[in-house]
Structures are given as structure tokens and as C-alpha cells.
Amino acid sequence: MRWVRNLVGLAELCLESVCPLCQRSTARVLCCDCQQRLYCLRLAGFEQGWQPPLPVLAWGAYGGALKRAIAALKYEQQTRLAQPLGHELAQLWLNFAASKRKSLMVVPIPLHAAKQQQRGFNQAELIAKAFCQHTGLPLQSHGLIRSRSTEAQFGLSATAREHNLAGAFELGEPFTTKPPQAVLLLDDIYTTGATARAAAYTLRRHQISVYGIVVVARALSSVRTEA
């Protein structure tokens, strides 16, 4: 019935006018205050991480409002947060000299199928969709698969993280059929880099060039460690 559809649409509009981080009314995804708190976490000297063997470009420091936003996206079903996060990351990329290379395919770091089914989505894929909308780069969400379920990385040492992810990734059917020349990995968080390195290793083992990885947030400890 039309009135039911109208009522549902009105309810959705009301829900969308609440900031997912502070619950205050807003005409946008995030209220001005929370948006400003995110901007305060943008990394200065972000280009310093763009170095071999796996160049990393991060938008912000993992903490405060940015940590809260990523948690809300992943664990509270606030999937609309992927749009502003992806667009901010895209703008950073477009302003970065390394972005001048055009022949790149964006590959989000995959979740294991069981975890994605439980969560209902892959947050990296949602961010990647917004990123690609803004940059114009092609997206391939199934080029890499997480073939083995792994223990949660939180709380593990750097060595334990590497061991935990050994052999966790495989090429997906699109890349076994027609591998791309080069890919740009994308994820929500970069901590020790174990996940990114494991994914890059799998791709490179099949002669697929990995140009680097772009992430929304990076743990400051990883920046200090590699400095």
C-alpha cells in the first residue's frame, strides 16, 4: 500500500538524520562536530608511508572519533559511514602524486565467508565502493578470497599475527581467469601490516603487481615503528 511505503520512507529519512556517532540531528551522515573530530585525526606527512616493499597511504590516525566511526560501521551496522570514509580516502588519493598511475584495479581486503555472512557485509568493500565512485578506478571485490578462517588479530603480537595469516588468502576466480596488471589494496585499518603483507604476498606469488595499499586509519605505533 502506498501509505505504508510513504511511512517507511519517512521513517528511513528520520533515521538518516541522526549522526551515528553522537545521535544528534544532522542533515548529513555525520554532524559538523563529529566531522571536525575526524578531521583533527588526519595524518600529516602521510606520504612518508609510501615506501617499498608495500607502500601504505593512510588518511588518519586510528583513535578517537575515527576509531569510533570504524567500530560503528563494522559492529553497529552503520554502513552509511562507508560513504564519507571512502570519499575522504579517495580525495587523499587523488591529491597524491602516486595516484597518477591509471592502470590500477582496487581490491578490498576480504573477510572469510563465514565472518562476512555473520556481519552481513565486508566493511573494506563498502569503503572501496565509495572510493572507486570518487576516483573512477575499477573495483574487483572477488579477485582475492580469504580461504582460511583466522583468529582475531586484536591482542596478538606482530609475530603471532604473521603466523595467524600464513596461507589465509587465495586468488579468486576473476583473477585466476584474467589477472590484472596491477592492484591497489584497500582496507579500513592498518596496524602491524600483517594482513596487508599476507594479501600482497598471495597476489605477487601469482605475478600480479601490488602497487600499494590505501587505508582509512593507521595505528600510530606502526608509523613510529617504520619511521
Cβ atoms 214, 89 nearer than 8 A: yes
C-alpha cell at 4: 505504508
Q: Could you give the residue ranges of the DSSP H alpha helices within the chain?
A: 2-16, 32-39, 64-75, 82-94, 113-119, 123-135, 158-165, 173-177, 194-205, 220-226
Residue 124 has pLDDT above 80, yes or no: yes
Q: For residue 183, give Cα distances in angstroms to 101, 103, 142, 161, 170.
A: 11, 8, 13, 23, 15
Cβ atoms 93, 134 nearer than 8 A: no
Residue 3 has pLDDT above 50, yes or no: no
Domains delineated in the chain:
1-40 (no CATH), 43-226 (3.40.50)
On the question of a cis peptide bond just before residue 108, with omega within 30 degrees of 0, the verdict is no
Q: What is the pLDDT of residues 51-90, one digit of tens each?
A: 999 999 999 999 999 999 999 999 999 999 999 999 999 9
Note every long-range contact of 220-226, with CB atoms under 8 Å and residues 24 or more positions apart, other chains counting: 220/61, 220/62, 220/63, 221/191, 222/190, 222/191, 222/192, 222/193, 223/43, 223/48, 223/49, 226/49, 226/51
- The per-residue pLDDT for 226 is 46
**Which neighbouring-strand residues pair with 60?**
42, 217
Q: What is the pLDDT of residues 5-38, one digit of tens each?
A: 444 444 555 555 789 888 888 888 889 999 999 9
- Count other Cβ atoms within 10 Å, centred on residue 92: 21
Categorize the per-residue pLDDT at 4 as very low, low, confident or very high, splitting at 50, 70 and 90: very low
Q: What is the pLDDT of residues 174-227, one digit of tens each?
A: 999 999 999 999 999 999 899 999 999 999 999 999 999 999 999 987 544 443
